[in-house]
Every structure is written in C-alpha cells, then in structure tokens.
Structure 1
Amino acid sequence: MPKRQVTLDEVAERAGVSRSAASRVINNAPHVSRAKREAVQRAVDALGYVPNATARALATQQAGSVVLAISGEDPALFADPFFAEVVVGISSVLEETDLELVLSLATSRRGQARLEQLLRTRQADGVMLMSLHENDPLAALAQQADVPVVFGGRPRDFEPSYYVDADNRGGARAATEHLIAGGRTRIATITGRLDEGAGTARYQGFQDALAIAGLEASRVAHGEFAEDGGAKAMGELLSRWPDLDGVFVASDQMAVGAMRVLREAGKSVPEDVGVVGFNDISGARHTVPPLTTVHQPIQALGREMARMLLALLAGEQPSPLILPTRLVVRASG
C-alpha cells in the first residue's frame, strides 16, 4: 500500500504558521521571516513533505513590492481615516515579509500609465485595487495584468475572482432598522457614489429596511464619501423634506457634515433627527453627539487583502471573503 502524501496543511500546523506562510517558504519565496522559514523547514524535514513543483515555479522572480492602487486623483485620499486604516492593516501583514508597499492614485492618465508600467515590467509582484467606479479603466488594467490582483470591495459592474469586502448591504439595513425601531417614520438617506459597489449596496440596504417596514424610501440625496458632500446633501434633504426625522448616511465623514448642517438649521440630534453613519472610523465616538454607526472592520479589510495576495503569490487559490458588519449604538440616533 503506497504511503500517504503529507499535506501542506500538516506542515503548517506542525510549524505553527499559516498555510500561506508555509507555502511561501516551501516555494522559496524571499518574503518570509527567518523564524518562520526555520520552523517550516524543520516541519518539512520531520514529516518528509515533498513540495509541489508547479507551486514552486509560481513563486520565482519576485520583484519585492506590491501595489495598493486607489481609483482617485486627490493625494489627500491616503489621509482619509478609512484608507489610512486600510493601509495600517495591509502594512501589519507585509511587515512580516520583505515586501514593500507602493501606494498609487491611478485615476489620472499619468497615474494609469505609471501603474501600467509597473505591471507590464513586473516591477511589482501583485496589486490590490480599491474604490473602482463603474467602467473604471483600472479594471481593464487588472484583467491584463500578469501578476495577481486582489480587489478591496466588489466593483459595481463585475464580480472579480479574488476580493475582500464588507457586508455593506446588511449593515445599511441594520442602520435603517435601528432608526425605524426608534419610532422614526420620515427617514432619508445620503448615499455615497452609486457607481461604486459600496455606495450601491448601502443604498440597497436602506431600501430593503424601508420596504419591509412599509415606509416611503423616496427621501434620497447623493454625495461623495466626504464631509463636504454630506453637508451639501443634508442641505438638499432639508430643503425638500424639512420634516424628516431620521437619516442614514453612507459614511461617517458625510454624517459629520450632515450633523453640522442640521445644527445650523436649528435641528437637534437625535431629538429632532436621528442620524446613523457607516464605517465607525476612530473619530465617530468623538462627534457631538457621539455617532451611532455601522462598524466595518477596516483594518481587517486591509489585512485580509494582503493575506489573500500573499496566498496568490504562493500559488494558492483563496476564496473571496465577506467581512461582517455590526451596529454600534451611541447617542446620535
């Protein structure tokens, strides 16, 4: 009877490392800490593991860097609390390797050309893409890339093979249901961009909750995911529906702008208008009043994107991942 072949999972378990880390060591990838490399090698020797030649070949000719490309033109995006936390999450995983993180704003022609050059000349081992819009040229670049690509969030117009996303629709529904449970009946929403997957999903969650409750879902204003966008949209809502008593805002930064406009209009939060945001950025608990919001694990989003990319670099085929969201009740709604 032939001897059973030792699996990579058994090697990883014995070495006390992740399957991805074990695979990278076995495939001779350079971006692994010395301690992990030695632990995996001891496990390989002890178990008599025979590595897969195909997977080993995929791990050669590494450039030593990966790219986080965001569909945008404003450098201030990387100072946005959301993207800043994503970068922290990605970096926490990459610091265990020798891979460097390259940040790229890739909406302008110059940015696209720079990213295309990186991919064509294989100056990067892999790419993480975020905030893609409908018909975004970055999607075409990703399809043509000869390196692994992981999407942060599902694009609105297609389903990529590898992505990490949050339960945007379920979170938005929970936020709106919270306003309904508080006795609000004239509820509005400020959406994010509806040519992005997250903006569309959060708007759908808002509609879901109102449809189930039999309430009108026509009080809608659209904005960018920024404080000024929330302020402008809140002004539009008040001009059309001055008697609204609740608003679900598709991002915390927009919610900050919305609450400012409500105060300027003489509306008290939450007595006159309940406000619920989305993301649970670090500043949400310090607004006046503290913001009720939907928590999505932003740093975990970055960590899982990086882990998925490392798994692809190791010759694995990870499954797409949806991270859970949860309502955090504070004082605004």
Structure 2
Amino acid sequence: MSESTTRLKRATIFDVAAEAGVSRGTVSRVLNGEPYVSAAAREAIEAAIAKVGYVRNTAARNLAKQSSGAIALIVHEPDSVFIDDPNIGAILLGANAALSAADYQLVSLIIDTERDSHRVTGYLGGGFVDGAIIVSAREDDPISQAIADLRLPAVMVGRPDNQPQLPWVGIDNRGAARQITERLRGTGRNRVGMIAAGLDRDSGRDRLAGFREAMGEAFDDTLVARQRFYTYAAGVAGMAELLRIDPDIDGVFAASDAIAAGALETLRNAGRAVPRDVGIVGFDDSSWALRAQPALSTVRQPAGQLGARAAELVLEQVRTGSLASNGALLSTEVVWRDSA
C-alpha cells in the first residue's frame, strides 16, 4: 500500500468553507475572532470545523507573526544528573507554569555532548523559539555565546563568571554554604570535610568558597573530595575518598542532597553512625533530603521559583524587545533535621 493511500489528508480552511456553505473569507473572520459574521454562519462554521477535523496551522500563523510562541529550557547536564537532580524538574515545572499562564509553550533541550551543542545551536538559530532559559551553564559554554550572538532573549539560572552578560536569576550559594557549614561546626565537629561538585560552574565554586570561609584556619584542602556532578554516585565515591584520607572525619558538607544521600550509604557500609559518629549536611532540600535516613539537614533553595522567575524575565524581553534587569537573587534558608 502506497504512502499516499495510508496518510490522512489534513483538513484545510477550504474544506471548512465548503462544508459550511460559506466563503473562505467568512471562515477566516471567524477563526480570527473578527465581527461582522452572522450567528447562523458562525454556528455553521463551528459545526463544519468539528466535522472535517480542521486544526489551525499554528506554524504558518506564527511565521506571519514572526513568533513561535515557544521558549526553550536548555539543560546542560548528562542523563544521570537529569534523573538524579530533582531541582532540574522543579525548575522545569516552575518555568512551565509561568509560560503556560502567558500562553507560551515550553520546549526542553538537553545538552550531553558536543554534538548536542551544535544541534541545539542550529535549532535556536532557526526561529523555532522566541527565547531561552539556560540551566547549568558551564565555563566557556558555547550555547550561551551562541544565544548572545543571535540576540535571542534569554536568562541564565545561575551566573557563570566568564559567560556573556545575559540576565540571570539565582541564589547566594556562597553565603548559604557558609551558613550551613558554620552550623555543622557548631555541633562540636572537629574534622569537617566537603564533597564538592559542579566546580565548572558558579554554584559549585561558590559552595566550595562558602565552605572554605566557614572553616577559616581549620580548612584542610585534603578533606575536599572533588567530584564532577551533583549525583548520588558522586556522594558514594566522595565519601569513600574522605574516609581513606581521614578515618576520623566527623563532619561532612555535601554540595547537594543527592551527594549527601550517596555519602550516607558509604558511611553505613563503613559502620559509621549518623549523626553520632559523623554529622552530614546537604544542599537543596530536595526529595533526597526527606528520603534519606536520617533525614538531611540542608539548605532549602526555591527551585520552582527560580524557574518561574527566569520565565518571567524571558517573557519581559520578548514583549519589550530589550534586556531584562541584569539579575535577581532569591532567598534560601537552612532546614535542620536529624543528620547533623
């Protein structure tokens, strides 16, 4: 059987006009919400639309308007992080809620490889989206530069130091890390280390800087286990490294809740009780924090609000044709539970 006999033909405005017994112009006026159409004609057209299965060609309409009606959410993370990190999902949902309220569609684009970067760059240059939200941008990220070159309305979640000066929304990672580390030390811990991650982006570097500040003269760089991603596996490996370096370690700041949960597994397997032998704190107040045993002391960051605010800033640029305010910091808070 040939393709032409199996593919359904898309109903057109001419089919609607023929079925309703009116002109194409009358159908067009109804579709565009224009007046000067009789109630009888409008009723006949609506019935014809339902009968022939007409669906408006949004792509053609958007081409005429020079607008796609879509905003891209670009996540620069491997698959493992996308699955492990609940913050990405919360950012996505927050952005989607704000865009939906403005009748915009969210398009998710995941960058895991260099090939993905080239593919996404080409997609962004094709006019398929009106703007972009960038999550987890790294140093020398080609996507951020491509967006700046395209003059595409965009907002970063976070603010890498060496990226184009795009508007951004974020949190005070450094101050929050310092605050929770100071509280951990206040429980009487003497040998405190950190499982650091994401050091190729602002969040990871700032959390390490905040930890260093809180430790002061007690900071020991050998007690910093550096991992690449904010994952459970990074916590397992990082905690094993810290125990090899100093079996007497009694406090750990994990750069994310997923990392802290992995560290808890390593500590259990090593026969170390939490918080009796080792106090541990995380960062995010994600679902990992409540699933962990014991429940994690952590920093609560408003991931959903970050996504919503980023979407609002992008839409502001789309509407006005100019850059949004340069940056916005949202507040965090320490949530103290049983792990420390």
For 1:156 and 1:247, how far apart are their aligned partners in 2?
Answer: 27
Q: Partners in 2 of 1:321 and 1:272 — Cα distance? A: 40
CA distance in 1, matches of 2:256, 2:181: 13
TM-aligned CA deviation for residue 111 of structure 1: 2.0
Structure (1 or 2) with the larger CA radius of gyration: 2
Q: 1:313 offset after TM fit, Å?
A: 1.0
Q: Distance between the aligned counterparts of 2:84 and 2:261, measured in 1?
A: 17
Q: Supply the distance in 2 between the matched residues of 1:326 and 1:105 (Cα, whole angstroms).
A: 30
1:90-125 per-position Cα deviation (integer Å, ceiling 9, x unaligned): 111111122111111124243223322222221110
Return the match for 1:220 from 221, 224, 238. 224
Residue 329 of structure 1 is aligned with which of 322, 329, 336? 336
Q: Tell me, what secondary structure is at the counterpart of 1:95?
A: helix
**Structure 1 residues 227-259: Cα deviation after superposition (integer angstroms, max 9, x where no partner):** 001110100000001111100000000000001
| Pair 1:240 & 2:230 matched | no
The match for 2:279 is: 274
Output aligned runs, 1:150-299, within 5 Å: 150-158=155-163, 160-211=165-216, 214-218=217-221, 219-223=223-227, 224-299=229-304
1:38-187 equivalent positions in 2, closer than 5 A: 61-74=66-79, 77=82, 80-158=85-163, 160-187=165-192
Counterparts of 1:95 and 1:138 in 2: how far apart (Å)? 25
Q: Unmatched 5+ residue regions in structure 1?
A: 1-59
Do the aligned residues in 2 keep the contact of 1:69 with 1:129 (CA within 8 Å)?
A: yes
Normalising by structure 1, report the TM-score: 0.78
Q: Give structure 1 regions of 4+ aligned residues with deviation exceeding 6 angstroms.
A: none
Query: TM-score, with normalisation over the residues of structure 2?
Result: 0.76
Counterpart code for 1:149 = A
**TM-fit CA distance, 1:78:** 5.5
Aligned to 1:279, the other structure's residue is in SS state coil
Partner secondary structure for residue 150 of structure 1: strand
Partner Cα distance (1:282, 1:99) in 2: 28
Aligned residues: 272
What residue in structure 2 maps to residue 15 of structure 1?
A: none
Amino acid at match of 1:215: A
| Aligned partners of 2:174 and 2:209 also within 8 Å | yes
Residues 84 and 258 of structure 2 are in contact (CA less than 8 Å); yes or no, is this contact kept in structure 1? no
SS of the residue corresponding to residue 160 of structure 2 reads: coil
Partner Cα distance (2:83, 2:304) in 1: 14
User: What is the CA distance between 1:79 and its match in structure 2?
Assistant: 6.4
Q: 3-state SS of the aligned residue for 1:314? A: helix
Letter in 2 for 1:187: V
Q: 1:312 to 1:174 in 2, by over 3 A?
A: same
Find the partner of 1:320 among 324, 327, 332: 327
What's the CA shift for 1:145?
A: 1.9
CA distance, structure 2, for counterparts of residue 73 and residue 225 of structure 1: 11
Partner of 2:57: none
Instruction: Using the aligned pairs only, state the percent identity.
Output: 35
SS in 2 for 1:311: helix
